[in-house]
Structure 1
Amino acid sequence: MPGKTWLFTSESVSEGHPDKVCDRISDTILDAYLQADPQSRVACETLATTDRVVIAGEVRGPSE
């Protein structure tokens, strides 16, 4: 692709930042499903703000 310009960005947050907390929650949910059934399918997003955490997504695991 000659002539194309790309701009690459990324962010880095420190320990305790809401993004890190959300990642940890989502990872824990994923790990629990995979431990119970390695064939589980998990799409999990966690959102956090002051005094509120929302977990959204869909899972298919051993109980289905």
Structure 2
Amino acid sequence: MKRTLITAIPPDEVREISLKSGAEVKVEVREGKPIHGMPRWEIVVEGKDEEVRRFMLSLMKSRAGG
């Protein structure tokens, strides 16, 4: 499975979340176009379906304060 998302989360934080999630995924960070002067990053996550879901859940929880 391959998921792509655009986010303002800094690349270092995305990599840290990936490690803490324990998901076996490949995370690639590309620079995206700024929106209203704020930097944006294109994050490409590849791995088995369940592993990508685990990473995405961890990402959502970490950014929502859960």
TM-score of Structure 1 vs Structure 2, range by shorter chain: 0.3 to 0.5
TM-score by length of structure 1 reads 0.43
Considering fraction of residues, name the structure with more helix.
2
Name the structure, 1 or 2, with higher relative contact order (CA <8 Å, separation 6+): 2
TM-score by length of structure 2 reads 0.42
